[in-house]
């Protein structure tokens, strides 16, 4: 059996793991490369395999860096099944359609054709097959798989592959993205104990989060109170999926217990609004505490002074609302979306606050702001940063180094090899070294398009 790392190798984005057995060719994830011109070129460069020869795809979760090139895969001839949990399927259409709109705008500005179309997205959605957690699926003559709770976003999965390789059964576990438990709403990642090979993510493979979920809520509370006292605007760049819903959960708690002043709170993201509706559809995926809260009659996504601004006109009208106010808007790394318009308007005022609650990739505006740059370019404008910038790492949806090592420690030996993926080079190499040193298991951080024999 062969495995080629076609993305997510010494980089966070572009997860795309290509497996070949004697009888079957399949993928785990088919993500978009993100951040920078080189990543754009990779997205346009096609795949290192024939799409029409791929038998099926398993999707771990619906973030764009795990699903973003599915439309291109279909355009190039893929017609097999795509397996994922029901929430992942519903989220995928929303994420792909939102990305398609942005890609078409970008292609138009560059005078080039977009990589895919709405028709491609429709074809992708027709290929999906829903799979429940711990449901065994015979996907190919020699390949079975099961999905387990990953705790990263709603419906996210750990993928366990069971491959009959020339009469020998081999178990390969792909972590997908593992959650940073405990967090609001979601369950803990499932603990597995048996594997021959493991692919583990490493977004935070070289560091640990500072603070706990409770401390994160306290920091959020302090940021609201301090900004309100200054008569300012609290801006929160947030991913439409998971981070926005976690913030709503926390703000609902703060509002209901009268721990923050009554000020207008705007969710300024059409995508976040639609995704929140999907969350309401899949409350059976919530953790026990959140489920109990909902059953008590508490609508965690609806509370006083909360406003959902879906249209462009509603978004612009936020500017007419006197401060203090709170604005939660996409994108989470300030690479586009409505947040950058608010940043242009409010970053230069020292009364205001920018609260960074998500991972910020290298080269993004969000990374520059989080690292303290005092002058940035947004929408072709030079903006002086006078607003206070605060970062809360405990809100991360990714397990940190401590969490990743704890998850790995449950596997019984012998494990033949661990491949460290989906992290920047330093993070991946650091985690690989730690696994070798502390767990005594052979481990490496594979390079882009590296092929290995399993």
Whether residues 321 and 372 share a domain: the answer is yes
Select from 375, 395, 415 the last residue of a domain.
395
- The pLDDT value recorded for residue 4 is 98
How far, CA to CA in Å, does 452 sit from each of 9, 17, 20, 366? 13, 11, 10, 35
- Annotate 370-406 with b (16+ C-beta within 10 A) or e (fewer): beeeeebebeeeebebebbbbbbbbbbbbbbbebbbe
- The pLDDT value recorded for residue 413 is 87
pLDDT grade for 330, boundaries at 50, 70 and 90: confident
Whether residues 110 and 66 share a domain: the answer is yes
How far, CA to CA in Å, does 417 sit from each of 106, 274, 406, 414? 41, 41, 17, 9
Whether residues 242 and 255 share a domain: the answer is yes
Whether residues 98 and 200 share a domain: the answer is yes
Tally of domains within the chain: 2
Query: Cα–Cα distance between 441 and 139 in angstroms, integer?
Result: 30
- The pLDDT value recorded for residue 215 is 82
User: Which domain CATH number covers 295?
Assistant: 3.40.50.10890
Residues ≥6 apart with Cβ < 8 Å to 454:
1, 2, 3, 165, 170, 172, 196, 197, 416
Query: Cα–Cα distance between 56 and 28 in angstroms, integer?
Result: 9
Query: Cα–Cα distance between 105 and 387 in angstroms, integer?
Result: 30
Q: What is the pTM of this model?
A: 0.90
Phi, psi at residue 26, to the nearest 5°? Answer: -150, 165
- The pLDDT value recorded for residue 110 is 77
Whether residues 297 and 358 share a domain: the answer is yes
Select from 371, 395, 419 the last residue of a domain.
395
Select from 345, 368, 395 the last residue of a domain.
395
The Cβ of residue 367 has, within 10 Å, a number of other Cβ atoms equal to: 18
Whether residues 229 and 310 share a domain: the answer is yes
Whether residues 46 and 171 share a domain: the answer is yes
Whether residues 264 and 141 share a domain: the answer is no
pLDDT at 310 over 80: yes
How crowded is the C-beta side of 410, counted as CA atoms within 13 Å?
A: 10
The Cβ of residue 362 has, within 10 Å, a number of other Cβ atoms equal to: 11
- The pLDDT value recorded for residue 60 is 98
pLDDT single digits (tens) 266-295: 999 999 999 999 999 999 999 998 888 888
Which pairs from 337-341 meet CB under 8 Å and 24+ separation? 337/269, 338/268, 338/269, 339/235, 339/237, 339/238, 339/268, 340/365, 340/378, 340/379, 341/315, 341/379
- The pLDDT value recorded for residue 121 is 96
Which pairing describes strands 381-384 and 128-130: parallel, antiparallel, or unpaired? Answer: unpaired
**Burial zone of 169 (CB within 10 Å; 0-12 exposed, 13-18 middle, 19+ buried):** exposed
- Annotate 194-224 with b (16+ C-beta within 10 A) or e (fewer): ebbbbbbbbbbbbeebeeebeebbbbbbebb
Whether residues 270 and 367 share a domain: the answer is yes
Whether residues 144 and 260 share a domain: the answer is no
pLDDT single digits (tens) 60-91: 999 999 999 999 999 999 999 999 999 999 99
Lowest mean pLDDT among 99-108, 327-336, 347-356: 99-108
pLDDT at 213 over 80: no
Domain that holds residue 423: 2-207+397-453
pLDDT at 124 over 90: yes
pLDDT at 46 over 90: no
**Burial zone of 412 (CB within 10 Å; 0-12 exposed, 13-18 middle, 19+ buried):** exposed
Q: Tell me what the pLDDT averaged over the chain comes to.
A: 93
Whether residues 133 and 7 share a domain: the answer is yes
User: Which domain CATH number covers 198?
Assistant: 3.60.15.10
Whether residues 219 and 159 share a domain: the answer is no
């Amino acid at each position: 059996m062969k495995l080629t790392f076609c993305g997510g190798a010494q980089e966070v984005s572009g997860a795309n793991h290509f497996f070949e057995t004697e009888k079957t060719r399949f993928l785990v994830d088919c993500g978009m490369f993100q951040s920078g011109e080189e990543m754009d070129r990779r997205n346009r460069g096609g795949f290192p395999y024939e799409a029409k020869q791929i038998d099926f795809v398993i999707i771990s979760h619906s973030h764009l860096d795990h699903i973003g090139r599915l439309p291109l895969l279909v355009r190039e001839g893929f017609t097999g099944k795509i397996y994922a949990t029901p929430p992942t399927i519903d989220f995928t259409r929303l994420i792909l359609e939102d990305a398609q709109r942005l890609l078409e705008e970008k292609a138009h500005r560059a005078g080039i054709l977009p990589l895919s179309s709405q028709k491609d997205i429709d074809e992708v959605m027709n290929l999906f097959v829903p799979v429940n957690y711990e449901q065994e699926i015979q996907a190919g003559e020699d390949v079975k798989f099961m999905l387990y709770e990953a705790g990263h976003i709603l419906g996210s999965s750990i993928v366990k592959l069971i491959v009959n390789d020339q009469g020998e059964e081999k178990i390969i576990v792909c972590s997908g993205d593992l959650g940073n438990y405990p967090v609001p709403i979601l369950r803990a990642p499932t603990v597995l104990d048996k594997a021959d090979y493991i692919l583990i993510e490493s977004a935070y493979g070289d560091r640990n989060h500072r603070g706990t979920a409770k401390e994160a809520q306290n920091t959020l509370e302090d940021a609201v109170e301090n900004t309100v006292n200054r008569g300012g605007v609290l801006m929160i760049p947030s991913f439409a999926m998971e981070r926005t819903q976690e913030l709503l959960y926390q703000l609902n708690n703060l509002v209901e217990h009268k721990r923050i002043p009554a000020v207008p709170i705007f969710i300024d993201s059409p995508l976040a609004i639609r995704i929140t509706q999907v969350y309401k559809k899949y409350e059976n995926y919530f953790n026990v505490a959140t489920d109990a809260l909902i059953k008590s009659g508490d609508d965690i996504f609806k509370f006083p002074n909360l406003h959902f601004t879906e249209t462009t006109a509603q978004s612009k009208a936020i500017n007419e609302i006197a401060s203090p106010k709170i604005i939660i808007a996409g994108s989470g790394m300030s690479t586009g979306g409505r947040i950058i318009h608010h940043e242009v308007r409010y970053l230069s005022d020292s009364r205001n606050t920018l609260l960074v609650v998500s991972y910020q990739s290298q080269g993004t505006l969000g990374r520059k702001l989080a690292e303290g740059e005092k002058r940035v370019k947004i929408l072709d404008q030079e903006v002086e940063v006078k607003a206070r910038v605060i970062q809360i790492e405990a809100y991360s949806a990714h397990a940190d180094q401590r969490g990743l090592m704890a998850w790995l420690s449950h596997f019984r030996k012998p494990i033949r090899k661990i491949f460290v993926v989906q992290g920047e080079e330093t993070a991946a190499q650091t985690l690989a070294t730690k696994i070798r040193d502390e767990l005594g298991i052979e481990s490496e951080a594979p390079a882009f398009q590296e092929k290995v024999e399993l």
